[in-house]
Structure 1
């Protein structure tokens, strides 16, 4: 899947973009709309907390850093005498798992309070009253979807396409 971002000037055109995506058989759960705080989105699919924040990348980063740190701490603990091989393996596993979990949790808490890095570049346009529509589309259909939107709705700016998106948000 790839995420395509559309910057749209008003709600009527936003509705047309969402309808065009639905007609292109993109499921509603893969379409997200973000607007200035307090702007009514009516029946449009609003972006949720996972799309608005850096939660997912922060958790991934926390898992990697925490797991690496725990692995190193476990290796140091194993290297110190006297440890039996069975106990050493348990120490190594425990420090890696606990540190990875702790790193993910702490990073997730920080990430949920931080605006999404990809959306940050659109902040000024959103504050000026534009709408940001982003859709997760199959990689092989990106060109087709972009062309379809350009063809039917000329007022829309296709801003960028993410190289890949996480599977679960």
Structure 2
């Protein structure tokens, strides 16, 4: 899936965009709208905490960093005298998994409290009253969806297309 970002000037145009995306057979769960805090979105699909925060990238970084730290700790433990080569594989696996688990938990906790880095560049426009629409579409449909939106709503600018998004948020 690819995420397309549309910066939209007002709620009526935002509704038109969401309707166009739904008519193009983009499921509502793949459409997210971000607005200034306190702005009523009426029946528009609001972005969840996963889209608004850096939770997913922080968990990914935590797994990598925690796993590497756990592996290093396991190598140190194996190098110490009483460890045997039979137990060494188990020690390495256990410390790597434990490190990855702790790293992902801590990374997720930090990521929930940090705004999404990918939408940081849109903060000023959102605070000025504009709406950010995120649409998750199949890679082969990106050009089609962008053209469809621009054809019906020419004042909308496609701000950027994200190369990849996780499949589960």
Is TM-score (shorter-chain normalized) higher than 0.5? yes
Q: Determine the structure 1 residue equivalent to 2:124.
A: 124
Partner of 1:2: 2
Equivalent residue number for residue 68 of structure 1: 68
CA distance in 1: counterparts of 2:113 and 2:83, whole angstroms: 42
Deviation string 1:8-29 (CA, Å, 9 cap, x unpaired) is 0000000000000001100000
The normalised TM-score by structure 1 is: 0.98
Distance 1:147 1:158 in 2: 10
Name the count of aligned residue pairs: 169
**How far is the alpha carbon of 1:85 from its aligned partner?**
2.4
Structure 1: unaligned runs, 5 residues or longer: none
Shift of 1:2: 0.2
> Could you tell me which residue of structure 1 aligns to residue 152 of structure 2?
152
| Map 1:82-101 → 2, pairs under 5 A | 82-101=82-101
Q: Indicate the RMSD between aligned Cα atoms, in angstroms.
A: 0.7
How far has the Cα of 1:149 moved from its partner? 0.5
Bigger mean CA deviation after superposition, 71-80 or 4-13? 71-80
CA distance in 2, matches of 1:45, 1:29: 8
TM (norm. structure 2) is: 0.98
Structure 2 residues not aligned, in runs of 5+: none
Deviation at 1:93, TM superposition (A): 1.2
Question: Which whole-Å CA distance do the structure 2 matches of 1:45 and 1:24 have between them?
Answer: 16
Which runs of 4 or more aligned residues in structure 1 lie more than 6 Å from their structure 2 counterparts after TM superposition?
Answer: none
Comparing 46-55 with 77-86, greater Cα deviation is found at 77-86
